[in-house]
Amino acid sequence: MRTTIGWQADPATRALRRTHLRRRDLRPDDVAVRVDYCGVCFSDLHALRAHKSDTDGALVPGHEFTGTVSEVGGAVTGFAPGDPVAVGNIVDSCGTCPMCQAGQENFCRGFPTLTYGGIDRRDGATTLGGYSREYVVRDTFVHHLPAGLDAAGAAPLLCAGVTVWEPLRALGVGPGSTVAVAGLGGLGHLAVKLAAALGATTTVISRTPGKAEEAYGLGADGFVVSTDAAQMEAVRDRFDVVIDTVSAPHDLTPYLRTVAMDGTLSHLGHLGPVTVETTDLLIGRKRLSSAGSGGRPSTADLLRFCAEHGITADIELLPSSQVNTALERLERNDVRYRFVLDMSDLD
């Protein structure tokens, strides 16, 4: 085993504290990555809340990071020490099921191995995440970070970015499409940038009138206040695709009404049961869909697209020693739009 330093959940307080972590020795197809920047995702908060230290083992969050290859296993040909790379929220999958065969490892029938809190397919160890200075990962789940992309701003592309990218692509968004993005947080702000860069006419739907200027700054063409009935009525049956990134449980009805005939509401921000009045789908043959994370091909596709269009997340960069502050502020939605931790203070 090798050791590194990272931020692990304290069993008593659930706060993260700096500690030594163990990483496996490199297998022939492993890559060791010096983690430079790691995004702070809403899932990290959920994981900390749900974590039971007596049964779940150690918890080190972090599943969207960029870094530099420090060492490669003997069978690795695609990476060399010094390469800038990126890793998302999946680090392995079965490789043989129809989902994996289709390049949708995120939907692996054997369940993908998660970057943290997952079970390694070969040795059964619990995976520890990217809030650490080094990560050891199978080469096929490492992505080259294209030149020209800021490594800190690119980190959130690996979870938040690909989570909105896959549905935008799968739903055929492009020039001529009309897209609405509900919620302007980590997912939402990237959805706006990506939809606009794909050529769609993009509207932000938000509870907060004060966010209009920010929305236009991100590339939106329109802004609708969700609590203003007249404004919502004015966009009735308007959008081919509505990307719903609102993270709290909420009524889908007002959003479904803004979907155009044969259009789709992609419900991404919240996991769990929802209630739908089916006449809201019937009228206009509307579709309700969801998605999460991304397969390897679409992650690579996203990174290429972002490099071409100069897209990264708008971030607030903090030294990793402020990770607990970042999590507290994220819980209050006090961030524009994603925290990224600079891991260099772990040396």
> What is the binding site for Zn ion (CB under 5 A)?
41, 43, 93-94, 97, 100, 108, 110, 159
Residue whose CB is less far from Zn ion, 94 or 276: 94
The Cα–Cα gap between 105 and 125 comes to 20
**E strand segments, 105-200:** 113-114, 134-138, 143-144, 178-182
What is the smallest separation between the CB atom of 330 and Zn ion, expressed in angstroms? 11
Kindly give the residue spans of alpha helices, DSSP state H, lying in 51-110.
53-56, 98-101
Q: What angle do CA 159, 328, 338 make, to 5 degrees?
A: 30
Residue whose CB is less far from Zn ion, 110 or 146: 110
| Backbone phi and psi for residue 176, each to the nearest 5 degrees, phi listed first | 95, -20
What is the smallest separation between the CB atom of 68 and Zn ion, expressed in angstroms? 22
Query: 166: part of which helix (H) or strand (E)?
Result: helix 160-170
Is there a contact between 216 and 223 (Cβ–Cβ < 8 Å)?
Answer: yes
Is there a contact between 318 and 340 (Cβ–Cβ < 8 Å)?
Answer: yes
Residue whose CB is less far from Zn ion, 188 or 222: 188
The Cα–Cα gap between 277 and 247 comes to 20
Reading the block at residue 125, the tokens are 């160890």
Residue whose CB is less far from Zn ion, 84 or 161: 161
Is there a contact between 113 and 121 (Cβ–Cβ < 8 Å)?
Answer: yes
The Cα–Cα gap between 224 and 180 comes to 9
What is the smallest separation between the CB atom of 39 and Zn ion, expressed in angstroms? 7
Angle between helices 296-309 and 186-197 (to 10 degrees): 70
What is the smallest separation between the CB atom of 331 and Zn ion, expressed in angstroms? 15
What is the smallest separation between the CB atom of 281 and Zn ion, expressed in angstroms? 29
The Cα–Cα gap between 286 and 297 comes to 28
Residue whose CB is less far from Zn ion, 188 or 263: 188
The Cα–Cα gap between 302 and 197 comes to 12
Residue whose CB is less far from Zn ion, 80 or 102: 102
What is the smallest separation between the CB atom of 64 and Zn ion, expressed in angstroms? 6
Residue whose CB is less far from Zn ion, 110 or 254: 110
Residue whose CB is less far from Zn ion, 72 or 162: 162
